[in-house]
Amino acid sequence: MYVKVKVPATSANLGPGFDVAGLAVTLYNTFTFELTDGPLEITGCPEQFANEDNLTYQAFKKAAKQVGLEYHNVKIHTKTEVPFTRGLGSSSTCIVAGIVGAYALMDRADERKEILNLATEIEGHPDNVAPAIFGGMTVSVVEADYNVTTLSLPVKHDYRFVALIPPFTLSTEKARSVLPEQLERKDAIANVSHLALMVASIINGYDHGLKLGFKDRFHQPYRGQLINNFFPIMECLEKDEGVLGAYLSGAGPTIMALIKAEDTKGVVRIKDELGDLIKGWRVEKLELDT
Ligand code: HSE
């Protein structure tokens, strides 16, 4: 038995929506799962991940138990496009693929709510796994026992996402470790208001609300200090009238800038404006995966 699972890259937080909001983009990791009588085989990933601790395998194993899939062993092959540890949800692709792989082998891949709950339990937050499972732009609420409610937003306009991907990595663990345990009420109110404005602007196509809507006080001020040139890059993007909004993608270090689809010169313009600030960085123009 053999199944193939293709999972999109995701960009989480969307500025103020820390651990809540996320979106899927057109960059993919593809996984195949084949049940076997032989040993565990994991191919297509760096040698140090080709073992029992492999995240895709761990997710597959947990899902197989939950869904009652009986098997001796599995061969997992991975083909990756999503850059690793860059804030584009590469870990979520592994988690979602492992779970969907096991569910698909039981012909239950359409049980998305169960898949989402388990994926959130493994990842610890829903903002990457939810858009990876449902596509588009999502907001999620997690209740007790990883009971997740996710809503896909109707995105009114056709946007492009310019991903500024640095050559260096930043682990989510490190990026979470610098966050304060407590926030001031004024910062909490600011973030709630920005998130509400951002979501309402996306739904209504109110592009003028996005620059303010994507602003954040929960995590970017702290994580920005771990990322070379983060603050000058954000300042420069703020001044570009074609950039509708910009934010740190997930835990970083990738920075995401939103432009309109018809702004065909946007990428060249942004690269010119940022110049040496993004020397050696990869720039990808992505679409929303729906
Ligand atoms: N919401 C998570 C964080 C996303 O910002 O830590 C990590 O991918």
Each of the 290 residues of the chain gets a pLDDT tens digit; together they read 899 999 999 999 999 999 999 999 999 999 999 999 999 999 998 888 899 999 999 999 999 999 999 999 999 999 999 999 999 999 999 999 999 999 999 999 999 999 999 999 999 999 999 999 999 999 999 999 999 999 999 999 999 999 999 999 999 999 999 999 999 999 999 999 999 999 999 999 999 999 999 999 999 999 999 999 999 999 999 999 999 999 999 999 999 999 999 999 999 999 999 999 999 999 999 999 99
Residue type for 87, please? G
With the C-alpha atoms ordered 193, 197, 198, 200, is the resulting torsion angle positive or negative?
positive
Q: What is the CA(172)–ligand 1 centre distance, in A?
A: 6
Residues with CB under 6 A from ligand 1: 12-13, 18-19, 125, 127-128, 172, 175-176, 219, 250-251
CB contact burial 138-149 (16+ within 10 A = b; e otherwise): bbbebeeebebe
Q: Which residues are annotated as a binding site for ATP?
A: 83-93
Phi and psi torsions of 27, nearest 5°: -145, 135
Answer whether 0.90 is exceeded by the pTM.
Answer: yes
Among 19, 28, 25, CA closest to 126: 19
Pocket test for ligand 1, best of 93, 172, 178 (most atoms within 8 A of CB): 172
| Residue with CA closest to ligand 1 atom 3 | 251
Among 218, 183, 182, 207, CA closest to 259: 207
Among 286, 224, 213, CA closest to 253: 224
